[in-house]
Amino acid sequence: MNAVLLVDDERDFADLLAERLQARGFAVRTAYDAEEALRLAAGHDLDVAVLDVNLPGMNGLDLLRELKLLRPQAEALMLTGQNDLATAVLGMKLGATDYLVKPVPIEGLVEAIGRALDRRQTRLEGVRMAETAKMAALGQMAEGVAHEINNPVNVMVSLAGWMGDLVADLGDQAKGRPGDKTSGTLTELAQSAAKLHEQGQRVKRTTAKLLCLCHKARLDGSARPKAAAGFTAKVDLEALVQALLAERTGRMRRRGVSAELDIPPDLPGLILPAQDLPGADLGLALGNILDNALDAMPSGGRLSVRASALDHELRIEIEDTGQGISPAHLPRVFEPFFSTKEVGQGAGLGLSVSYGTVKSLGGDILINSPPGQGAQVLVTLPC
């Protein structure tokens, strides 16, 4: 539902206009002066502001300047009882989409708001495309850097292991020589070699996560690990989900989101690949999905997590009652760096990483978003 802020000091006119806009499907908040308008804009979503030019105190043009600083992505329409061309031109220069003279027909106002929303969407798409191109370029650079780092780090880790083995052999030989004073030095060398090996493995884990963000090959199913190469492990899925929700308790409380869990205690074990496989982190994947669901419910809702076993598969369903996903965006949600959020609010990596993680576990992930019914994410894993 599109958020409209209506600002007019004529209370009866503003209330009637707000009621008629609400009847046409807009979420309207009403303010009777500029100060109240700025408070509402700071605390709530805003797509279009309809501003009376002749407000008491701060006038509509000054309010428009402040709103553009506070909500740069919002569009604005100017309302006035005077057919003043100079005021109209100044309003347009400040970023207003349209200029309407009162009394304005309700259908004319609805059409003007529709044009403003179209302009906002077009502008956001352009900004989003530029941001996506920039992030994709950064992703390619990160992938190249990760590969370049991996090669020397692999050599360092191997040499550190070889040094540790060599020092252990020398230590064994020193034990057979009474009075040999090299044992302290060998102990220090062994500790240093172990530390080098540990830190090298840490770098490898970091670059593995970096490569997981750029999993172009996995998007078409290639380079997908076989689940049979792993081992069966019992995972307490309910405890895992409870822990993930606990980490998000504050955020859920602030947004007014409630959670419902339906996870049977007798679920079968999961087939997990080797522990050092990049992205093999079910908690990370589910956490990203939960974060996306919460992002879709800024004003409250219900988050449901269900699990079941069917035909040697574990099915995890995560459903929200949020705003859903546009049919035009749905095919692209797993692409790296694709995001429908406001610029700067998300890098577009959450669902992409979840996709790569679930695929690395030998499973699959699907999203369904019927119009006006929120979104349902289905994760299936071999068990």
| 311: region left, alpha or beta (phi > 0 left; psi from -120 to 50 alpha) | left
pLDDT of residue 138: 62
Which is the CATH superfamily of the domain at 3-104? Response regulator (3.40.50.2300)
* Whole-angstrom distance, CA of residue 9 vs CA of residue 268: 64
Q: Which residues of the chain have pLDDT under 70?
A: 82-89, 128, 130-139, 142, 176-181, 205-206, 208-234, 271-280, 336-350
Q: Which two tokens stand for residue 358?
A: 């679930």
Class of the CATH domain delimited by 227-382: alpha beta
Contact 278, 212 (CB under 8 A): yes
Q: Which two tokens stand for residue 198?
A: 């540990």
Q: Which two tokens stand for residue 210?
A: 């970096």
Domain residue ranges in the chain: 3-104, 131-214, 227-382
pLDDT of residue 23: 92
Q: Which two tokens stand for residue 245?
A: 């929700």
pLDDT 10s digits, 300-323: 899 999 999 887 889 999 999 988
Q: Which two tokens stand for residue 316?
A: 């995890």
